[in-house]
Amino acid sequence: MIPVRDDLRALEGYHSPQVDVRVRLNTNESPVPPPAAWRDAFAAELSRVEWHRYPDRSASALRAAIAAWHGVDPAQVFAANGSNEVLQTVLLTYAGPGRTVATFEPTYQLHGHIARITGATVVEGERAADFTLDPDEVRRVVESARPHVTFLCSPNNPTGVVEPPERLDELVALAPGLVVVDEAYAQFADWSALDRVDDDVPMAVVRTFSKTWSMAASRLGYLVGPRWLVAELEKVVLPYHLDAAKQIAGRLALDFVDDMDDRVAGIVAERARISDAMAGLDVEVFPSGANFVLIRPRSMGGHDLWQALLDRDVLVRDCSSWPRLDDCLRVTVGTPDENDAFLTALAGALSEVHA
Ligand SMILES: *Cc1c(COP(=O)(O)O)cnc(C)c1O
């Protein structure tokens, strides 16, 4: 064995078990595949790809389609292999050794994880017990750490909390560096930071095709931000990183915005239904603006509940051992049938304790 970089020695890998079960509600994917018409159009275009040539390096058709949808300029759009590669490129460009990145915990684990891999120092601010963000804590962290990059995840994963727009505005006014708003779940919430994107504001919004768009298998995400930021990211990312098939997949997906909106509305309705149903059970249910709900059982351990659900063929995300999330489980909203199966399993698991 050859030793890795000193600063990586203590690092643990990203862990999310892929278990074979009947009802899989653990990774916040869409419960349904993309429309059949999308698959047909994709197959037809794939047959015309010039496979011996490199793909369009600037992904111009894809970026133009994303830009048209959001009403921005294509020069304000940076696309990559999942929003994780977007985040990595931002951090390679603006974090790295000797620089500081701020997060507000608990939040998406990969913000801090990728930042550490680039060699940056991560400063963790704390959320309140109900997982909301206190403006005084934001001020304390930003003024003491002077971060080069500050993350805000809204709706926040894994808590579901939607930050009020004022919180972002305060942060942007205070932060000395770049503010990155991770909006992986924005379509499920009631506001987006997209209309605040401006060349004079050091703030960028990151989105993904993995959740709302039913395209997790495709690995496609993007950023909307100032033109100068996009130009810097293009210098850092590997040339030809977006393959031809992915560029086609994403561009064609944007022909199905109405279908996507319908799915989002269905999931939001199901989120309300399962949240209401759980309110009658012995669990704490945190309000969510995303396609998942965080819960905490009142009279049994979180990990025990996770196992009891798995015994009933339902897989959810076990956050019970994560810092600040004692006994919490995160449940992705599925199809109505999957949600019924989950509710039945949950009621069964909870009543077993009292038996
Ligand atoms: C799921 C998720 C992503 C998505 O990552 P991809 O690489 O696009 O699949 C990004 N941010 C958050 C907060 C997420 O929950």
Region of 96 please: left (phi>0), alpha (psi -120 to 50) or beta: left
Residue 1 lies in a domain: no
Mean pLDDT of the chain: 96
* CATH classification at residue 296: 3.90.1150.10
> How far lies 132's CA from each of 58, 150, 304, in Å?
39, 17, 27
Query: What is the residue range of 174's domain?
Result: 47-255
Residues 150 and 191 in one domain: yes
Residue 310 lies in a domain: yes
Residues 212 and 154 in one domain: yes
pLDDT for res 258: 96
Kind and range of the H or E run holding 321: none
Digit-coded pLDDT (tens) for 173-191: 999 999 999 999 999 999 9
For 203-212, what is the mean pLDDT?
96
Our answer on whether the CB atom of 83 is closer than 6 Å to any ligand 1 atom is yes
* CATH classification at residue 236: 3.40.640.10
Distance 172 CA to ligand 1 centre (A): 22
Handedness of CA 16, 18, 24, 28 (dihedral sign): positive
Distance 191 CA to ligand 1 centre (A): 18
Domains: count for the chain: 2
Sheet with strand 292-297: strands edge to edge:
23-25, 314-318, 329-332, 292-297, 283-285
Residues 336 and 301 in one domain: yes
Quick one: what percent of the chain has pLDDT higher than 70?
99
Residues 285 and 310 in one domain: yes
Closest to 252 in 3D by CA, of 73, 1, 75, 41? 41
Residues 285 and 199 in one domain: no
Our answer on whether the CB atom of 159 is closer than 6 Å to any ligand 1 atom is no
Residue 49 CB burial class (10 angstroms; 0-12, 13-18, ≥19):
middle
pLDDT for res 11: 85
Q: Using most ligand atoms within 8 A of CB, pick from 85, 208, 209 the residue to mutate for ligand 1.
A: 208
Residues 216 and 312 in one domain: no
Residues 79 and 209 in one domain: yes
Residue 85 lies in a domain: yes
For 304-327, what is the mean pLDDT?
96
Whether the pLDDT of residue 343 is over 60: the answer is yes
Distance 130 CA to ligand 1 centre (A): 23
Handedness of CA 332, 336, 338, 339 (dihedral sign): positive
Digit-coded pLDDT (tens) for 60-112: 999 999 999 999 999 999 999 999 999 999 999 999 999 999 999 999 999 99
**Residue 292, amino acid:** F
Domain end marker among 199, 221, 255: 255
Distance 154 CA to ligand 1 centre (A): 12
Residue 72 lies in a domain: yes
Residues 171 and 286 in one domain: no
Whether the pLDDT of residue 354 is over 70: the answer is no
Residues 250 and 295 in one domain: no
- The model's pTM: 0.96
pLDDT for res 149: 98
For 227-241, what is the mean pLDDT?
98
Distance 231 CA to ligand 1 centre (A): 23
Domain end marker among 255, 278, 297: 255
Our answer on whether the CB atom of 210 is closer than 6 Å to any ligand 1 atom is yes
Residues 206 and 321 in one domain: no
Domain end marker among 231, 255, 279: 255
Residue 186 lies in a domain: yes
Residues 265 and 296 in one domain: yes
Whether the pLDDT of residue 15 is over 80: the answer is no
Residue 40 lies in a domain: no
Residue 192 lies in a domain: yes
Residue 42 lies in a domain: no
pLDDT for res 355: 57
Whether the pLDDT of residue 13 is over 80: the answer is no
Residues 290 and 174 in one domain: no
**Residue 234, amino acid:** E
pLDDT for res 12: 81
Instruction: Report whether 233 contacts 223 (CB < 8 A).
Output: yes
